[in-house]
Amino acid sequence: MKRLLKDVRVIDFSWIGAGSYTTKILADLGADVIKIETAARLDTLRLTKPFKDGISGVNRSGYFADRNSSKRSITLNAKHPEGLALAKRLAADAHLVTNNFTPGVMDKLGLGYEALRNVNPSLVYASMSVQGAEGPDKNALGYGLTIAAVTGLLHMTGLPGREPAGTGTNYPDHIPNPGHTAFAILAALRHQRRTGQGQFIDLAQVESTQSMMGPDLMDYFANGVVQTRRGNRHPERAPQGVYRCAGADRWIALSVCSDEQWLALADALRLQAPPQWNGLPGRLAEHDAIDAAIQVATCAWDACDLAAALQARGIAAGMVQDARDVLERDPQLAARGHWVTLDHPEVGPSTYNSAPYRYSQASSTPTSPAPLLGQHTREVCRELLGLDDPAIDQLTRDGVLA
């Protein structure tokens, strides 16, 4: 199947989470994403657990691997005058340049939008800082968890009356920020293809994260209501929760949306004299009693079997899966061919995520494993910069390609 972005070249200065996931989306769609790295300041994810076989190393991080499939890596010291010149030459023939540094960093390097637009007027330039390139907080530093905190997302997670529990992972790095940025980039590339014009994309990561909280923000601005933590409760659905099942640390999540589903649930679990569902979300005391009865009933079930039985009755339910379950037991992921095994040059066969979407006539699955640090330096220098081996060797000795 064809690759939608097979003719697009990306010079990728982004690192860590959101930026790297953005360019992974493009790389898996066929773009030639050239990841600019330097051994002097490694991408933090290269040093982040888990490591294959528990052995640390710059090429052994599973976290880094999952964010950097289908890319090429070159080591290039852009702080060196010759390295800066090479970076500009790469940008001159590229469709897109990306970074997720604090505003001003790329300008200080001589690689800001205005500098690169001078060598490539049709360039699309995407910058993903925490608070955007303008405004009083433009110099703010942060990662996924700090973005989740400053936007109020963490405030919404947890049980009523307790401290926020957090999302358990850097949610802004995985969903809203790479998703919004990739969408903006695709729109800009389409405009570039049609008109030959470039664009500057300034994405503030706090804004795309806040977009995930639209109803709660509107409730405050329109009604003055400050939403807060409610655990597994839902204002319009009940019962809803996560209930223990048979076995060690086995659970099921379920959500009832109507009288019909409530009666079906009561019948499946053989609950006694079920009251009508209508209005239940507001009757917390009654809800607690029903929760307790459900919990007693679900303990007798295997989580996978119960999920299948409830789904067959039209009830939203799913087994709470650990990592092994997701890899080995999830029938939907298996049916979609979500997991791809690629042979990494250092750690061997490794499992990679495919994109969560599919195209009818194009592929979006990873094509190659994450690159070794600088694995493609010589290849890119020959292919795109026209350098021969003696020149590459000299630049390496001089610390330019390092």
Write out the chain's pLDDT in tens, 402 residues: 899 999 999 999 999 999 999 999 999 999 999 999 999 999 999 999 999 999 999 999 999 999 999 999 999 999 999 999 999 999 999 999 999 999 999 999 999 999 999 999 999 999 999 999 999 999 998 889 999 999 999 999 999 999 999 888 889 999 999 999 999 999 999 999 999 999 999 999 999 999 999 999 999 999 999 999 999 988 888 899 999 999 999 999 999 998 899 989 999 999 875 555 555 665 655 778 888 899 999 999 999 999 999 999 999 999 999 999 999 989 899 999 999 999 999 999 999 999 998 999 999 999 999 999 999 999 999 999 999 999 999 999 999 999
| 240-331 is classed CATH 3.90.180.10 | no
CATH classification number, 9-212+336-397, choose in 3.40.50.10540, 3.40.50.150, 3.50.50.60, 3.40.640.10: 3.40.50.10540
Please choose, from the candidates 393, 383, 372, 370, the residue with its C-alpha nearest in 3D space to the C-alpha of residue 39: 372
Which one of the listed residues 28, 43, 66, 173 is annotated catalytic? Answer: 173
Please choose, from the candidates 245, 355, 228, the residue with its C-alpha nearest in 3D space to the C-alpha of residue 306: 245
Q: Residue 180 to residues 141, 187, 285: CA-CA distances in angstroms?
A: 20, 11, 41
CATH 3.40.50.10540 residue spans of the chain: 9-212+336-397
CATH 3.30.1540.10 residue spans of the chain: 240-331
| 267 assigned to active site | no
Give one DSSP letter per residue of 105-161, joined into a string. Answer: HHHHHT-SHHHHHHH-TT-EEEEEESS-SSSTTTT----HHHHHHHHTTGGGSS-TT
